[in-house]
Amino acid sequence: MADTYEYLGSGVLLPFRRDGKDDFANGVGLDVIKTSLTSIFGTLRSGPANEGELPYNQELGSLLRLLRHRNINDPTTQELATHYVLESILVNEPRVRAKAVGFDSRPSENKLVLRLTYDVVSRDTTGTNVLLSDVEQEIDL
């Protein structure tokens, strides 16, 4: 499993927090992928009617923020949100193959939660080389 974690990379974790060495906490493997997905869904990318949030990389992120004040219980909005999630994973995170996308509306907490199930795959081999299967993650939007 150590080789798998090496392949998946290392980096700073979100939310930012300090580690024991008075530096930002770093992680490896699946923690880095979860941080990457959180960052992608929290960043506005360029679309037909808007510029992206990051001027140096307009394609990084998703268009989920455009749905912020819409009724997520509407089937059309859910389908559009699912499309935005799948598109942003395809463009920005080649280590992930989405299997299921769902949303929970929590009005009492004033938040929307993305429920994502995915496989972590090797991008260096042809075909599907699944490294981790059926990873579940919840992301507050």
pLDDT band at 87 (very low <50, low <70, confident <90, very high): very high
Name the burial class of residue 132, with classes exposed (0-12), middle (13-18) and buried (19+) by CB atoms within 10 angstroms of its CB.
middle
Report residue 6 as tokens. 């090496």
Question: Is the per-residue pLDDT at 2 higher than 70?
Answer: no
Q: In total, how many domains does the chain have?
A: 1
Structural domain boundaries enclosing 36: 2-140
15-31, pLDDT tens digit by residue? 666 777 777 777 778 88
CATH of the domain at 32: 3.10.450.40
53-73, pLDDT tens digit by residue? 888 989 999 999 888 888 877
Give phi and psi for 89, each to the nearest 5.
Answer: -65, -45
pLDDT computed for residue 96 by the predictor: 92
Answer for the pair 131, 121: CB distance below 8 angstroms, yes or no.
yes
Cβ partners under 8 Å of residue 110, min gap 6? none
